[in-house]
């Protein structure tokens, strides 16, 4: 009896342990890896807010890492600095992956990729061309033309392009020089901190060089080439990275992933900051004000126009706006309003269209194509405006040629009814009785048309 009791006493803890393990809740799973997507988007304050908020969330949830799938032509230097600063001080590893195939990390994308704890690229992608053109250079800068000349000399004389480029002086504008030198020092610091190719990083800024994924890997610009996100996770699992405060090892295999999209507010604001959208809103705002001024009391066009203008000016405070271009477009609106008020036979419309076209081209002071208004947007806006005013002018000309609609002259062409037999009698026109004469007899009740007015007597003809 005592042996059975002792045996049961020994087995009881084992049984309880097994049942306890079965009934105990599962351990908390590892936090999901946030995946951000910058899909052919300009780096701007909204993009910066999106990335910075995601890093804060990843830090609060203690995620294993954060991945940014990057495809950008470039963007604003101020926003880029904010993103880079956040990544450099992040408490979680940030992986920048230039993907999918065909994507690019241009201009601002170079700084963001270099600042990442892990820099990766997909096949058929490229990185480079980080010269800060959008931060102060004017379209008249001679740097590009000098480079073209040097390329021509290279072809003719067989000289090396690198030797000739050393002879090219930097832009004479002191502000451009300061911005360039500051950017060079900044990108060198980023590359050195992450152990990447400092010389290539500075050439990407100074000479706008670019590299494909294989060349970037060979030069030490990036850490890995991965065909897709799953391949990237496998290759980077177990890699050691250095954060701002400590060194950590990436544990990515088997960790769930979650796509973090922009909020509705961020998506709307990100669309508004697009130069083409901002320009369209500006033109629609001017159209609304023009209609309200020419048709007072309509209300809706005027209110809608003001809303469009406010949204456009929100974008202008972020984009490199040239206020000379904005002034020309405003002058065009004034000339269009004057065309409606005075007779200029189309001269004011022509002047307004000229101002509108030139102002549209000058609206954003930058040589970066992705920060300028496309001609595919400018041309339809100008042509549609021209079509509207040609139509309005034609209506005005027709109105001037139309017979007067008041006085006795307005009676010519009207139809009346004979109230006293003609050739000399009376007719009724719109309830009024007039003396009338006719070249032939017309009986009472028959219809006649007025052909002329002589004093107070109407000349009519039988219908």
Burial class (CB in 10 A: 0-12, 13-18, 19+), 183: buried
Tell me which residue of 187, 73, 213, 47 sits closest to 129, measured CA to CA.
Answer: 73
Rounded distance between C-alpha atoms, residue 416 and residue 113, angstroms: 86
- On whether the CB atoms of residues 121 and 225 are closer than 8 A, the answer is yes
> What token pair was written down for 421?
């037999």
Burial class (CB in 10 A: 0-12, 13-18, 19+), 25: exposed
| Annotation marks residue 107 as catalytic | yes
**Region at 428 (left for phi over 0; alpha for psi -120 to 50; beta for the rest):** beta
Largest CA distance in the chain: 148
| Annotation marks residue 63 as catalytic | no
Q: Mention every residue, 6+ apart, whose C-beta is less than 8 A from residue 95.
A: 65, 66, 67, 68, 116, 117, 118, 119, 120, 232, 236
- For 201-211, b where at least 16 C-beta lie within 10 A, e where not — what string? bbbbbbbbbbb
Count of residues in the chain: 463
Q: Mention every residue, 6+ apart, whose C-beta is less than 8 A from residue 402.
A: none
Q: Which of 101, 124, 145, 178 is catalytic?
A: 178
Q: Which of 107, 176, 360, 438 is catalytic?
A: 107
- Start-to-end CA span in the chain (Å): 136
Q: Mention every residue, 6+ apart, whose C-beta is less than 8 A from residue 99.
A: 69, 70, 71, 120, 121, 122, 125, 226, 228, 229
Q: Which segments of 66-131 does DSSP mark as H helices, in order?
A: 77-88, 108-115
- On whether the CB atoms of residues 181 and 132 are closer than 8 A, the answer is no
Strands 118-121 and 94-98: parallel
Rounded distance between C-alpha atoms, residue 322 and residue 247, angstroms: 46
Residues recognised as catalytic? 107, 178
């Amino acid at each position: 009896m005592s042996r059975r009791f002792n045996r049961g006493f020994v087995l009881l803890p084992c049984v309880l342990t097994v049942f306890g393990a079965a009934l105990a809740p599962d351990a908390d799973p590892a936090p999901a890896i946030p995946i951000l997507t910058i899909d052919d988007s300009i780096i701007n304050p909204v993009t910066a807010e999106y990335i910075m908020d995601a890093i804060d969330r990843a830090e609060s949830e203690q995620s294993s890492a954060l991945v940014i799938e990057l495809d950008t032509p470039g963007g604003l230097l101020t926003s880029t600095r904010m993103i880079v600063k956040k990544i450099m001080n992040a408490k979680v590893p940030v992986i920048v992956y230039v993907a999918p195939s065909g994507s690019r990390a241009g201009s601002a994308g170079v700084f963001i990729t270099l600042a990442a704890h892990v820099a990766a690229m997909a096949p058929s992608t490229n990185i480079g061309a980080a010269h800060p053109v959008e931060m102060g250079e004017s379209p008249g800068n001679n740097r590009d033309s000098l480079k073209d000349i040097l390329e021509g000399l290279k072809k003719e004389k067989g000289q090396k392009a690198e030797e000739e480029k050393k002879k090219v002086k930097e832009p004479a504008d002191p502000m451009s020089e300061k911005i360039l030198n500051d950017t060079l020092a900044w990108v060198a610091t980023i590359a050195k901190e992450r152990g990447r190719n400092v010389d290539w990083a500075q050439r990407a800024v100074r000479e706008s060089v670019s590299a494909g994924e294989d060349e970037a890997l060979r030069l030490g610009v990036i850490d890995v080439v991965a065909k897709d996100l799953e391949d990237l996770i496998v290759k980077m699992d177990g890699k050691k990275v250095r954060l701002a405060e400590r060194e950590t090892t990436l544990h990515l295999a088997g960790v769930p992933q979650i796509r973090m999209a922009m909020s509705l507010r961020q998506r709307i604001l990100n669309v508004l900051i697009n130069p083409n959208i901002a320009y369209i809103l500006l033109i629609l705002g001017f159209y609304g004000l023009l209609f309200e001024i020419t048709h007072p009391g309509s209300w809706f066009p005027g209110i809608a126009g003001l809303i469009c203008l406010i949204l456009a000016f929100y974008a202008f405070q972020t984009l490199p706006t040239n206020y000379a271009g904005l002034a020309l477009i405003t002058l065009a609106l004034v000339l269009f309003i004057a065309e409606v008020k005075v007779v200029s036979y189309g001269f004011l419309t022509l002047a307004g269209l000229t101002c509108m076209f030139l102002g549209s081209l000058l609206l954003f002071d930058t040589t970066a194509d992705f920060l300028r208004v496309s001609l595919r947007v400018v041309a339809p806006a100008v042509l549609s405006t021209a079509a509207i005013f040609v139509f309005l002018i034609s209506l005005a000309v027709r109105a001037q040629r139309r017979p007067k609609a008041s006085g006795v002259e307005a009676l010519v062409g009207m139809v009346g009814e004979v109230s006293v037999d003609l050739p000399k009698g009376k007719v009724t026109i719109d309830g009024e009785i007039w003396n009338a004469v006719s070249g032939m007899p017309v009986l009472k009740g028959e219809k006649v048309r007025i052909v002329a007015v002589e004093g107070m007597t109407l000349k009519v003809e039988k219908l």
